Amino acid sequence: MAMMGDGVNDVLSLKKANMGIAMKSGNSATRSVAAMVLLGDSFAAMPAAFTEGQRIVNSIYNILKLFMVTVFALLLLITGITML
């Protein structure tokens, strides 16, 4: 779970979250417990960042699927050749 905050009231939630995100202009306590500090003063970039992250993860899954299919096909080919 990700939590975004910029004030002292968000510190506990940011600590408990898997991914705490704070703004640079936020409270120093908030910045110190956050896993990521945004250099700008806007959370507007976060949806695009999450979308890009999801695209990267999906690409990794697709590459792994391709690798698994290739290995399986090679194993079948090797098995077929050795049975001749």
Q: Are residues 5 and 40 in the same domain?
A: yes
Q: For the whole model, what pTM was predicted?
A: 0.63
Structural domain that includes position 37: 1-44
- In DSSP terms, 21 is beta-bridged to 4, 36
- Would you state the pLDDT for residue 45? 82
Band of the pLDDT at 42, cuts 50, 70, 90?
Answer: confident
- pLDDT exceeds 90 at position 44: no
User: 80, exposed or middle or buried, with CB in 10 Å at 0-12, 13-18, 19+?
Assistant: exposed
Domain total of the chain? 2
Here the tokens at position 33 are 């417990």
Question: Could you give the CA distance from residue 15 to residue 23 in angstroms, rounded to a whole number?
Answer: 15
Q: Are residues 34 and 56 in the same domain?
A: no
- Would you state the pLDDT for residue 26? 87
Q: Are residues 35 and 51 in the same domain?
A: no
User: 37, exposed or middle or buried, with CB in 10 Å at 0-12, 13-18, 19+?
Assistant: middle
- Mean pLDDT, the chain, rounded, equals 91
Q: Are residues 50 and 25 in the same domain?
A: no
Band of the pLDDT at 40, cuts 50, 70, 90?
Answer: confident
Question: Could you give the CA distance from residue 63 to residue 67 in angstroms, rounded to a whole number?
Answer: 6
